[in-house]
Structure formats: structure tokens, C-alpha cells
Amino acid sequence: MESGFLIQPWVHTRTTMDCCRLCYQARNGPGFLECKRAHLGGFNALLGMLKMDPRPQFGDNLKLLEDAKETCLASLNPDSNCHEKMQSALQSTQLLYDQMIDEYKLKYTMLMPNRPAQTPPM
């Protein structure tokens, strides 16, 4: 159960990174506004997840993401610096979730007994 609370934000972060990349690629096309709306919705959901987490490292990361949102998503024509800033903030969020997942795996592999798997009878 606890692992679901780690995997879902990690997947959401990856999806938001991909959406950011796609919007940046479509910035001169006709579908840019629709892409930007979708990216904003996903980004706001990610910010909501981070606001619910009491860990201090998420507070620092939340500030990075909010700054990137204000400068990049509010801009009509995002440039490469803006895109790099957004991707960097999202990557740092993903790294935090990667660390949490690694800690979770380590914690539960230590608790599990080292028994060989039994093959079921045929």
C-alpha cells in the first residue's frame, strides 16, 4: 500500500516532464495552448502532491517548481532557458522520489526473510 504512494508521484513527475518536453517542441505550432493547459493541470497536481508531504527537502523543491511555473508556464513564448529551468526542477523532484523508492526497497528487503521461493506442486 505504501509503495503506491511512492510510485504514483514518481510516475506523475515523469509524465509532467514528458508533457513539458512536448509543449516546448510544439511552442510554435497551433496546438501549443492546448498542450500548455494540459501541462499546467498536471503541474498543479504535482505541486499539490508536494504540498502534502511534510519533508523539508520537498519544501525546497516546491519553491523551485513554483518559481519555474511562474516564469515558464506564464510566458507566452518559452525559450530554451525557461525549458531547461522547468526540466531541472522536475528532474530534482524525480530524484527525490527515486531516493524515497530506494529507501523503501532497502527497508523492506531487510525485513523480508531470505528464503528461497518455493515452487508450487504440479
Q: Write down the pTM of the prediction.
A: 0.77
pLDDT for 20 beyond 80 = yes
In a domain, 9, yes or no: yes
Task: Tell which residue, 49, 55, 65, has the closest CA to residue 10.
Answer: 49
pLDDT tens readout for residues 55-66: 787 888 888 888
Which residues constitute the domain of residue 69?
2-110
Binned at pLDDT 50, 70 and 90, residue 2 comes out as low
CATH number for position 88: 1.20.120
User: Using an 8 Å Cβ cutoff, are 105 and 91 in contact?
Assistant: no
**Distance in angstroms (rounded) separating the CA atoms of residues 80 and 71:** 12
- What is the chain's mean pLDDT, rounded? 81
Comparing 9 with 4, the larger pLDDT belongs to 9
In a domain, 7, yes or no: yes
pLDDT at 107: 83
In a domain, 35, yes or no: yes
Distance linking the first and last C-alpha atoms of the chain: 31
CA angle centred on 39, ends 67 and 17, rounded to 5°:
75
Its sign, for the CA torsion 50, 56, 57, 62, is positive
In a domain, 122, yes or no: no
In a domain, 118, yes or no: no
- Into how many domains does the chain fold? 1
